Chain A
């Protein structure tokens, strides 16, 4: 079945540094979604990318969808302590409309 790999598993940064998490799928995706889960919380939808090569920005967050629609990345510029949490990508594809989640990247920001 479809697999979505996400790296790194953990990332420690100093406040103000940039952060990037990468997502790779074993199959071509129809779309990819990104979620953020704060410690003790539930996943919260951030964004959905649909088109090949798409780039979307939300303030300090930049999301990219690869040309082959098999990979994606989330980049945070100048991290803040409020960015702490686990970021998940979730891809739909391979004939399935069920989002398959990556294992997530836990971001720890040191003040």
Chain B
């Protein structure tokens, strides 16, 4: 058990809809990362937060947004969903956001139909 909690485990929704994925980091970790994993793209970095502030942005679409709350949990919002957004979404946390190993949650499998 990594200590990182992600909900829900599975999500099935239709194109055009909006969903919210939730992540609670390991106790004591200040940084949260979101990654998208698909068969053809591997693990793609989306966005990083550190202690409530956005620190780095990767290949995150404009239809996607995220935030980290004062209690350090994070939410990833995906809107106007398309079939191609179907993937496994991982949240990971680290102690200080630099040169620290990532601890991944179990992921949310999103299926867009």
Q: Could you tell me if B43 and A97 are in contact, using CB atoms closer than 8 angstroms?
A: no
**Footprint of A on B, CB under 8 Å?**
2, 33, 35, 42-43, 45, 48, 56, 58, 90, 92, 97-99, 101-107
Q: Could you tell me if A98 and B58 are in contact, using CB atoms closer than 8 angstroms?
A: yes
A20, CB-defined interface residue at 8 Å: no
B33 in complex: contacting residue of A42, A88, A98, CB < 8 Å:
A98
Could you list some 23 contacts between A and B, CB below 8 A?
A30-B99, A33-B101, A33-B102, A35-B102, A41-B106, A42-B104, A42-B106, A43-B92, A43-B102, A44-B2, A45-B101, A45-B103, A88-B43, A90-B102, A97-B97, A97-B99, A98-B56, A99-B45, A101-B35, A101-B42, A102-B42, A103-B42, A104-B42
Q: How many A-B residue pairs have CB under 8 A?
A: 52
